Amino acid sequence: MIFVDACFGKDTPYTPVWFMRQAGRYLSEYMEVRSKAGDFLSLCKNPALASEVTLQPVDILDVDAAILFSDILVVPMEMGMELGFFKGEGPKFSKTIDSFSDVKSLSLDSSSRLNYVYDTISLTREKLHKDKALIGFCGAPWTLATYMVEGEGSKTYAKSKKILYSNKELLHALLEKITHNLKEYLKCQIKAGVNAVMIFDSWASALECDSYFEFSWEYLKDIAQEIKKEYPHIPVILFPKGISGFLDRIDGEFDVFGVDWSTPLLQAKNLLGDKYVLQGNLEPCRIYNRDSMLSGAKEILEIMKGKRHIFNLGHGMLPDLPRENAIELVKFIHNYKF
Ligand code: CP3
């Protein structure tokens, strides 16, 4: 698989490409299947339909990898927190984590309740062309913890950080419990058939440098190390969003570093490119305009020169991005001559 080869830094005939949030609302085909399922969470829990939307971007865009259709928040949900997704408001938990007894009430065994995810994986792997990779994923402990403490997305993360600065033992207890669940969950995804795993730390940018390494990166490294120890042939991709100022402190045992769009790619290459394969980092909004998209892509390709690089966006696809441009972008990457 060209994508897996690229994750391990092997030479490939062209730069492989896929897009974060490549399955989603910008595709009318996705909207049709979602309405068949009823709502977003029902879609995640329906392996036949979740598998169908996982495969859509491979068929429509010809990307080199599919990413499992699910959500990072199914793990806290199966740890025992009631979750809803509300139109225009995003995800919400009905209760929040405030105390040690709340942490204690959370399950250590969510992975045994996520069979709908593993069924989606095996169904998808059966149907996916053998040259295309299937990526499994989870959220980073820190990112999941913020949702569990705030109960929803937040602009300031004030509640999570209040705990961080006034009761760090509580935050560590929560992070440890989440980490335990995530290790088991990723191993189950691998057993079900994913070819790589990615950890999304979407709210990495909420923390100052020392706090980031203590409350997030250490846990990401721990998960990555455990996966690499048991499954050395499965690439591990880490994506911390918004920490371009801390790249000189990035270390650990993993294969691919996901570069967000706010990080100058040349800077990431100079600091991390020898140690890790880089994935990224076109600013997603460039896809609104064909010329901006192609000039941005060219710049990225010329920095990486087809070596130790997987093309991606610097964050997820947006619901109103024009699909024709996304299709053209994949063709442009595949046909690019260095
Ligand atoms: O195509 C893919 O990338 C695979 C599926 C996927 C989804 N969410 C589907 C989804 C993946 C990998 C995720 C990860 C995820 N979920 C992250 C990390 C990546 C990132 O974007 O930073 C986060 C922070 C979440 C939590 C989440 N899920 C939010 C905040 C929202 C609402 C925001 C929004 O975009 O509406 C979701 C809902 C969600 N997850 C949708 C999809 C396709 C939209 C739901 C819908 O159909 O209405």
Does the structure show a pLDDT above 90 at 188? yes
Could you give the number of structural domains in the chain?
1
Contact 322, 287 (CB under 8 A): yes
Quote the ligand 1 centre to 91 CA distance (angstroms). 9
Check 26, 30, 147, 212 and give the catalytic one.
147
Residues 6+ apart with CB under 8 A from 127: 51, 55
| Closest approach atom of ligand 1 to CA 198 | 12
Q: Are strands 256-258 and 236-240 parallel, antiparallel or unpaired?
A: parallel
| Closest approach atom of ligand 1 to CA 87 | 48
| Closest approach atom of ligand 1 to CA 67 | 4
* pLDDT attached to residue 142: 98
Does the structure show a pLDDT above 90 at 89? no
CA 102, 104, 108, 111: dihedral to nearest 10 degrees?
-10
Query: Ligand 1 — pocket residues by CB below 6 A?
Result: 20-25, 34, 40, 67, 69, 71-73, 85, 90-91, 137, 153, 200, 202, 316
Does the structure show a pLDDT above 90 at 88? no
| Closest approach atom of ligand 1 to CA 143 | 24
Helix 168-192 and helix 218-230: axis angle, to 10°?
30
Check 26, 34, 102, 185 and give the catalytic one.
34
Residue 213 structural domain: 2-335
21 is catalytic: yes
Which of 31, 36, 67, 71 is the best mutation target for the ligand 1 pocket, counting ligand atoms within 8 Å of the beta carbon and taking the most?
71
Per-residue pLDDT of 247-284, as tens digits, reads: 999 999 999 999 999 999 999 999 999 999 999 999 99
3-class state of residue 258 by DSSP: strand
Does the structure show a pLDDT above 90 at 286? yes
Sign of CA pseudo-dihedral 96, 102, 106, 108: positive
Per-residue pLDDT of 143-182, as tens digits, reads: 999 999 999 999 999 999 999 999 999 999 999 999 999 9
Token digits for 284? 């997603």
Nearest to 243 by CA among 208, 273, 283: 208
Q: Is 286 annotated as a binding residue?
A: no
Q: Does the N-terminal peptide bond of residue 281 adopt cis geometry, omega within 30 degrees of 0? A: yes
Name 198's bridge partners. Answer: 137, 237
Contact 227, 186 (CB under 8 A): yes
Quote the ligand 1 centre to 338 CA distance (angstroms). 34
Rounded-to-integer distance, Cα 37 and Cα 47, Å: 11
Per-residue pLDDT of 223-239, as tens digits, reads: 999 999 999 999 999 99
Quote the ligand 1 centre to 223 CA distance (angstroms). 21
Radius of gyration of the chain (CA): 19
Token digits for 177? 């419990």
25 is catalytic: yes
* pLDDT attached to residue 250: 98
Residues 6+ apart with CB under 8 A from 57: 18, 19, 22, 23, 27, 63, 66
Where b means 16+ CB within 10 Å and e means fewer, 73-97 reads bbbbbbbebebeeeeeeebbbeeeb
Quote the ligand 1 centre to 270 CA distance (angstroms). 31
Token digits for 186? 């990723």
Rounded-to-integer distance, Cα 211 and Cα 73, Å: 23
Rounded-to-integer distance, Cα 248 and Cα 257, Å: 13
119 is catalytic: no
Rounded-to-integer distance, Cα 254 and Cα 224, Å: 6
Per-state percent for the chain, helix, strand, coil, to nearest 5: 55, 15, 35
Q: Are strands 90-93 and 83-86 parallel, antiparallel or unpaired?
A: antiparallel
Does the structure show a pLDDT above 90 at 87? no
Q: Is 71 annotated as a binding residue?
A: yes
Rounded mean pLDDT of 40-61?
98
Rounded mean pLDDT of 284-311?
98
CATH code, 136? 3.20.20.210
**How far does CA 332 lie from the centroid of its chain?**
24
Quote the ligand 1 centre to 71 CA distance (angstroms). 6
Token digits for 288? 């609104």
Q: What separation in angstroms does the CA of 91 have from each of 117, 270, 276?
A: 19, 37, 33
The mean pLDDT of the chain is: 97
Q: What is the residue type of 137? A: F
What order of strands is seen across the sheet that includes strand 309-313?
A: 65-67, 133-139, 196-201, 236-240, 256-258, 277-282, 309-313
Is residue 128 very low, low, confident or very high in pLDDT (cuts 50, 70, 90)? very high
Per-residue pLDDT of 12-41, as tens digits, reads: 999 999 999 999 999 999 999 999 999 999
Predicted structure pTM score: 0.97
